[in-house]
Homo-oligomer: A and B are copies of this chain.
Amino acid sequence: MEQALMVLGSAIGAGIAVCSGIGSGIGQGYAAGKGAEAVGNQPEAKGDIISTMLLGAAVAESTGIYGLVISIILLFANPWV
């Protein structure tokens, strides 16, 4: 029974943790839309716009990755189960 409760908690916790990526998804999609709009207005600045957008999105990605890391740890490097 102990083992079962630990696993139940870890599995649900892993599911919640990876949902920290919801914010990243919304934010990066906003960045993508703004980037496409900007490229449409200044196609000659495409390189600069894309590199800026990707740099910003890469930073926003970080919290999504944190959630993934915690999920993976809960699943495979779980210090208890």
* 8 Å CB interface, A14-39 against B: 14-39
On chain B, the residues within 8 Å of A69 by CB distance are 68
- The size class of the interface chain A forms with chain B is 35 or more
* A41 and B42 within 8 A (CB): yes
Contact in complex: A60, B62 (CB < 8 Å)? no
Chain A residues engaging chain B, CB cutoff 8 angstroms:
1-46, 48-50, 52-76, 78-81
Kindly identify which residue among B17, B53, B64, B68 contacts A56, using a CB–CB cutoff of 8 Å. B53
Most buried by B among A22, A24, A26, A37: A24
Whether A79 contacts B80 by the Cβ 8 Å rule is no
A74 to chain B, nearest CB (A): 6
